[in-house]
Amino acid sequence: MNTTNIFVVQLIPIQSETPHKLVGVYSTRELADAASERALEFYDTDRMQSTITILALDDLINGVDRYEL
């Protein structure tokens, strides 16, 4: 069984670790990168950064709950 990953894109102020805005959830890294770039076009890059978090869908990694690994 394969692992299905999701890519969560958020914008975060550089001065803080608190997420500012959820940009979206994407099926590929390429889509997440593109969404991140588009979202940052609206902000001063000296004040805002984006993060992409990769998560296993349903917490399953190769069919096994990630907490059992």
CA dihedral 34, 30, 60, 53 (to 10 degrees): -40
The predicted pLDDT at position 1 comes to 63
The predicted pLDDT at position 69 comes to 75
Bridge-based pairing of strands 48-56 and 21-26 is unpaired
DSSP letter at 3?
A: P
45 has a pLDDT exceeding 80: no
C-alpha distances in Å from residue 62, one per residue of 5, 26, 44, 59:
11, 20, 40, 10
pLDDT in tens, 9-43: 999 988 876 767 899 999 999 999 999 999 999 88
The predicted pLDDT at position 22 comes to 93
Extents of the domains making up the chain: 5-68
21 CB neighbour count, 10 Å cutoff: 15
* Residue 22 β-bridge partners: 10
